[in-house]
């Protein structure tokens, strides 16, 4: 594991430091895609979103909330570990008071790069045009309602935690799903990283002083990719994890370029705390000794052709691309522990480093679930 790795996709949590004395920041504003979306895509699309129908949301909320999981996301577990309420989706609306302690701008399907980038390359049918730059504009539109002057905004933003991601996965997912070659998609990586870096620069110019930037998940362990590339030769798979090596190498390349970009930004802005989230290794901790099981993930969860597994707590994948509440709990525990540099406990000494009974990143609880299985299975039993 890279020593410089910092884990904090978790920092989507809102802080109520002034009111509760438990948080470390007065507010948090997060940007990203489906792994962090707490309802924006559902608000945009209504009933057309699968995340607006059961069984999505069944485990914890007992009704769909727009989260792409059976229950809570990593952001939810981190908020709860800090003794805070769950973060609200920005598109849910409300007045300034509703967002004074933060807002979630993440939208399922969002890309780091603007849609025109993909259209110019013949890549179409993107599920969202709410790219990172669009989400930044939403924040810019919201900010005047939260602070009234330059000095007021400077004071307000100095106590805000920004999470720039998890984003970038869809910049690769859409072309992979449209059968573009890995060689072509690899040329997108510098541009994706540059878009993330530009977003950070904009936030810094607006007054941001603390932010976390998550890297890529291990793509080669993703159920939908294991299904798409199931014809791979045996040597393409990691014998310990069952993940596809070349896809994980692709994710690692993204992460290395991102770390280099963050190092450049730190040198340019020494007054800003910029943390890297090692989501890759936090997730890989679950794959220590997985069964060699790769279930069909081509039928969307919630469709008529699917039936839910009896116990989502035993699976890592809820649908082809999104993890179960059980997996999110484990990853959040890791992010609260050893996958953050500096440790979150350094800034949040009162944070609960055990997430709902799952230990913080030591992997002891990971054996309770089966990494290669999807919870939502097609009706033919695959």
The structure tokens 């770390």 sit at 259
**Is residue 290 a contact partner of residue 242, using CB atoms and an 8 Å limit?**
yes
Phi-psi region of 207 (alpha: psi -120 to 50; beta: other; left: phi over 0): left
Residue 322 annotated to the active site: yes
Residues 56 and 62: beta-carbon distance below 8 Å? no
128 is catalytic: no
Distances (CA, A) of 376 to 55, 120, 325: 9, 35, 13
Beta carbons of 318 and 312 less than 8 angstroms apart:
yes
Active-site residue identified among 37, 76, 278, 319 = 319
26 contacts 18 by C-beta, under 8 angstroms: yes
Helix 325-336, helix 74-81: angle, nearest 10: 50
Exactly one of 216, 254, 322, 360 is catalytic; name it.
322
CA distance 326 to 332: 10
Contact 318, 375 (CB under 8 A): yes
131 classed as catalytic: no
Does residue 316 sit in helix, strand or coil? strand
Q: Quick one: which H or E segment has residue 279?
A: helix 279-284
Query: Would you give the distance in Å from CA 196 to the centre of its chain?
Result: 14
Alpha-carbon torsion angle 67, 63, 139, 45, nearest 10: 80
CA angle at residue 311 from 11 to 319, to 5 degrees?
Answer: 60
**Residue 203 near residue 140, CB atoms below 8 Å:** no
Q: How far apart, in whole angstroms, are the C-alpha atoms of residue 137 and residue 333? A: 32
Could you please report the per-residue DSSP string of 66-78?
Answer: S-SSSS--HHHHH
What H or E segment, with its residue span, contains residue 152?
helix 150-157
Catalytic residue among 15, 30, 34, 128: 34
- Which residues are known to be catalytic? 34, 319, 322
């Amino acid at each position: 594991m890279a020593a410089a790795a910092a884990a904090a996709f978790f920092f989507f949590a809102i802080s109520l430091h002034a009111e509760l004395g438990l948080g470390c920041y007065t507010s948090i504003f997060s940007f990203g895609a489906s792994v962090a979306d707490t309802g924006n895509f559902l608000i945009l699309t209504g009933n057309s979103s699968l995340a607006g129908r059961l069984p999505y949301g069944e485990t914890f909320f007992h009704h769909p909330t727009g989260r792409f999981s059976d229950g809570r996301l990593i952001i939810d577990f981190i908020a709860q570990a800090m003794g805070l309420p769950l973060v609200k989706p920005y598109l849910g609306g409300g007045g300034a008071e509703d967002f004074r302690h933060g807002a979630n701008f993440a939208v399922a399907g969002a890309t780091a790069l603007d849609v025109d980038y993909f259209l110019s390359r013949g890549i179409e049918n993107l599920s969202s045009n709410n790219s990172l730059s669009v989400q930044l504009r939403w924040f810019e539109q919201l900010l005047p309602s939260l602070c009234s002057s330059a000095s007021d905004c400077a004071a307000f933003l100095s106590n805000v935690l920004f999470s720039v991601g998890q984003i970038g996965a869809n910049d690769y997912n859409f072309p992979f799903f449209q059968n573009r070659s890995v060689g072509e998609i690899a040329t997108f990586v510098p541009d994706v990283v540059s878009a993330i870096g530009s977003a950070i620069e904009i936030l810094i110019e607006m007054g941001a002083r603390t932010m976390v930037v998550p890297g890529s998940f291990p793509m080669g362990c993703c159920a939908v990719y294991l299904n798409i590339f199931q014809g791979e030769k045996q040597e393409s798979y990691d014998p310990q994890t069952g993940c596809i090596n070349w896809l994980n190498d692709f994710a690692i390349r993204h992460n290395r370029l991102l770390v280099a970009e963050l190092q450049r930004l730190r040198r340019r802005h020494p007054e800003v705390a910029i943390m890297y989230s090692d989501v890759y290794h936090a997730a890989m901790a679950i794959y220590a000794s997985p069964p060699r099981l790769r279930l069909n993930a081509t039928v969307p969860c919630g469709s008529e052709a699917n039936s839910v597994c009896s116990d989502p707590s035993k699976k890592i994948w809820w649908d082809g691309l999104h993890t179960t509440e059980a997996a999110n709990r484990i990853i959040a525990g890791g992010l609260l522990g050893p996958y953050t540099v500096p440790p979150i406990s350094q800034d949040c000494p009162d944070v609960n480093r055990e997430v709902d009974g799952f230990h913080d990143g030591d992997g002891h609880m990971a054996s309770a679930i089966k990494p290669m299985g999807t919870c939502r299975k097609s009706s033919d039993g695959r």
